[in-house]
Amino acid sequence: MSNKIRLRKGLNIPLKGSAENHIAKNISPNIIAVKPTDFKGLNPKLLVKEGDLVKAGTPVIADKKRPEILICSPISGTVKEVVRGEKRKLLEILIESDKKHEYQQIVTPNFRKATQKELKETLLAGGMWPMIKQRPYGIIPSPSVEPKAIFISGFDTSPLAPDLDFTLKAEFEHMQVGVEVLSKLTGGGVHLSLNADNFAGSPLHRLEKVSLHVFDGPHPAGNVGVQIHHISPINKGDIVWTLDLYTLAAIGRLFSKGVFDLRKIIAVTGPRAKQPCYIETLPGMPMSDIMEFVELTPEKKSGELLPVRFISGNVLTGDNIGENGSLGIFHNQITLVSEGKYREMFGWSKPFRAKKFSFSHSYFSWLTPSKKYSLDTNLNGGERAFVMTGVYEKVLPMDIYPMYLLKAILAEDIDKMEALGIYEIIEEDFALCEFVCPSKTEIQEIVSKGIDLMIKEMS
């Protein structure tokens, strides 16, 4: 049985460059970057040194406070370099592939007969535990706590998001195993949300031992935080877990094959992508491996060719990693857009701007709702006073007051933050608010600071 939830608030950003449903290349990276910064709440302890040999599934990082939580290498090879930043902060571990694709075999119990303790121990030993996120805060969950429920979003509505039915069409059996494992870790069941647009055509509605929910509406309908808000809101003291379908399939592979296998199909998208498509690769892949898909001869702006911004993830919540960066472990797409470092003559006073998109009626984009735009990163101005506008409420389909919550975070008023819904949100839930913000405020950064404050004060 499933129930349908209709969301009217939100916004689908009409960005050019969606991927065509074909796999253009299978990439086996020569170098993989393991980044502890991908895992919120991790206090990393290095377990390897330069020159060490590792297999796929060999632990390379542990959590100092919870040493049973391990970050594992996704490939076999040699630890080439340990990269550190200021105050010797561990930034990434570069592992050079040996092209043998050897896996460290992990002894797994029969998931149908195993106890909850045995399943947790396997997830920890197999490196899959850090792939699960806890709400509130979006951090790595504690192995000693049982969640109220587990939530999985079966679709993605972010700009140029990959078609999950296409990328995971061969993973149904592994996802079913993953569901059966997770269902034993909570008394509240596993909740899977699907898109109303293709609910009947998606194989995911055939998954067993899940509670199905159907969502209809624009982005952020695919955000698991929005789905949780409408299914079972998080109150003070509640703990829930979330994960994406790629992680669900990887958990299934762990218990079916006894290996730590993170290989996945991701989308290469964006206005600066040459023939946007899908590639099969591993997280940590360097951007140099996809240069053949990058359009390097863009339209001129103010007499200059615009450089490319490499984004690991989508344009709203992804990381600006540059051409020397690497794919984040939780990101399922790469977005290529133009850097908007230019000034426009006459700016806002131009009477007609057919190539610009606006959430409001500032431009004429509202007359062509089906048109796609080659948007870039230009702010069209600078940061301004943070004032009441009422625009955030139009794109956030949650029963909270976003402006008041943001002001409570800025004031570091923990009581008001709790009352206004800090437990229900993480940065991605406010990404659209940042996109439409007339003050051009870094809203996700504010939310991140608020979450860090809550972790510090409430732990």
Residues 262-314 pLDDT 10s: 999 999 999 999 999 999 999 999 999 999 999 987 666 656 678 999 999 99
Residue 362 has pLDDT above 90, yes or no: no
Confirm whether 24 is domain-assigned: no
How is residue 340 written in tokens? 């908007």
Confirm whether 378 is domain-assigned: no
- Partners of 309 in the beta sheet? 337
What local confidence, expressed as pLDDT, does residue 304 receive? Answer: 67
What local confidence, expressed as pLDDT, does residue 355 receive? Answer: 76
Are 3 and 214 in contact by the 8 Å Cβ rule? The answer is: yes
Lowest mean pLDDT of 93-102, 249-258, 295-304, 312-321, name the range: 295-304
What is the pTM for the complete model shown? 0.95
- Partners of 308 in the beta sheet? 338
How is residue 382 written in tokens? 């600078």
- What percent of the chain is modeled with pLDDT above 90? 84
Task: For the chain, give the number of residues.
Answer: 459
Whether 300 and 359 share a structural domain: yes
Instruction: Give the Cα separation of 207 and 180 in Å (integer).
Output: 10
What local confidence, expressed as pLDDT, does residue 36 receive? Answer: 97
Whether 311 and 348 share a structural domain: yes
In 3-state terms the chain splits into helix, strand, coil percentages (rounded to 5) of: 25, 20, 50
For 122, phi then psi, to 5°, come to: -70, -45
Confirm whether 384 is domain-assigned: no
Nearest one of 164, 169, 151, 115 to 240, comparing CA atoms: 151
Whether 268 and 363 share a structural domain: yes
What local confidence, expressed as pLDDT, does residue 348 receive? Answer: 61
Residue range 196-235, pLDDT digits in tens: 998 888 899 999 999 999 999 999 999 999 999 999 999 9
For 381, phi then psi, to 5°, come to: 130, -175
**Over residues 124-144, mean pLDDT:** 97
What local confidence, expressed as pLDDT, does residue 367 receive? Answer: 74
Please, what is the end-to-end C-alpha distance for the chain in angstroms? 38
Neighbours of 364 (CB within 10 A): 13
CATH code, 347: 3.10.20
What local confidence, expressed as pLDDT, does residue 351 receive? Answer: 58
Confirm whether 28 is domain-assigned: no
What local confidence, expressed as pLDDT, does residue 378 receive? Answer: 86
Whether 360 and 275 share a structural domain: yes
Q: Residue 1's pLDDT band (boundaries 50, 70, 90)?
A: very low
Report the DSSP pairing between strands 319-320 and 240-243.
Answer: unpaired
Whether 276 and 340 share a structural domain: yes
Residue 33 has pLDDT above 90, yes or no: yes
**Over residues 164-188, mean pLDDT:** 97
Whether 357 and 399 share a structural domain: no
What local confidence, expressed as pLDDT, does residue 380 receive? Answer: 77
Whether 274 and 347 share a structural domain: yes
No. of H helices and E strands in the chain? 10, 21
- Partners of 241 in the beta sheet? 134, 150
Confirm whether 111 is domain-assigned: no
What residues make up the domain containing 326?
A: 264-367
Please, which residues have CB within 8 angstroms of residue 361's CB and are 6 or more apart in sequence?
none
Residue 349 has pLDDT above 70, yes or no: no
Cα 319 versus chain centre, distance = 10
Whether 284 and 343 share a structural domain: yes
- What percent of the chain is modeled with pLDDT above 70? 96
Instruction: Give the Cα separation of 222 and 333 in Å (integer).
Output: 15
**Over residues 129-158, mean pLDDT:** 97
Confirm whether 351 is domain-assigned: yes
Whether 280 and 335 share a structural domain: yes
Whether 316 and 398 share a structural domain: no
What local confidence, expressed as pLDDT, does residue 2 receive? Answer: 59
Whether 276 and 358 share a structural domain: yes
Q: How many domains does the chain have?
A: 2
Please, which residues have CB within 8 angstroms of residue 375's CB and are 6 or more apart in sequence?
13, 15, 16, 271, 315, 337, 357
Are 341 and 335 in contact by the 8 Å Cβ rule? The answer is: no
Residue range 377-424, pLDDT digits in tens: 988 777 788 888 889 999 999 999 999 999 999 999 999 999 999 999
Q: 172-183 vs 245-257: helix axis angle to the nearest 10? A: 90
Confirm whether 53 is domain-assigned: no
Radius of gyration of the chain measured on its C-alpha atoms: 22
Cα 288 versus chain centre, distance = 21
Confirm whether 301 is domain-assigned: yes
Q: What mean pLDDT is reported for the chain?
A: 93
DSSP string, 114-142: --HHHHHHHHHHTT-GGGSEEETTTBPPP
Whether 359 and 284 share a structural domain: yes
How is residue 8 written in tokens? 């009217």
Neighbours of 280 (CB within 10 A): 15
